[in-house]
Amino acid sequence: MSRAKTGVRCPSHSDVILPMQDPYMTQIADGRKNYEFRKYCLRPSVKRIWFYRTAPHSSITHVCETRFARTRNAGDAPLEENGLGNAEFNNKHKDWDGYDFAYEMVTVRELRLPITLKEMKEKHDFKLAPRGLVYLSKSISVSVDLNQQKLEKLMLRMAQIIR
């Protein structure tokens, strides 16, 4: 989404906002879904995905640390099949057609104070709700201390290593 549509000034290139509907956000938050699948590749500089939960929430509610995109090109290692959608991604299920990029959710943090659409408009220069990929406004990144947010889940793989 261009600046003209969102109004966002001074975007961060390490953080993006992606819209997310339920039940998918709940599945990420509770660790059942450990990859987010997209039809496009994020910039390699992206380290965090901020999820804007669509109505009825209409708020940024979670932030996930991620890694470089995993792909399913010839010769690529498959994803571990320990999360929702991973096997379908690996097997190129027809419902996953075009979803060639998988972003691992390394950590999941729930914002203690969700950033509402009203706040996004009034304080962070948004004109509309995010309907697609938007780079995060620096005004949001400086206003939220990630270390003070609720750490929901580490990825299932990380939990298995700790055990």
What is the pTM assigned to this prediction? 0.86
Which pLDDT tens digits describe the chain residue by residue (163 residues)? 444 444 444 557 899 999 999 999 999 999 999 999 999 999 999 999 999 999 999 999 999 999 999 999 989 999 999 999 999 999 999 999 999 999 999 999 999 999 999 999 999 999 999 999 999 999 999 999 999 999 986 654 444 444 4
Do 18 and 49 contact (CB within 8 A), yes or no?
yes
pLDDT of residue 11: 59
- By the 10 Å C-beta count (0-12 exposed, 13-18 middle, 19+ buried), 121 is classed as middle
pLDDT of residue 2: 42
52/31 Cα distance (integer angstroms): 18
Topology of domain 15-154, CATH: 2.30.130
pLDDT of residue 13: 87
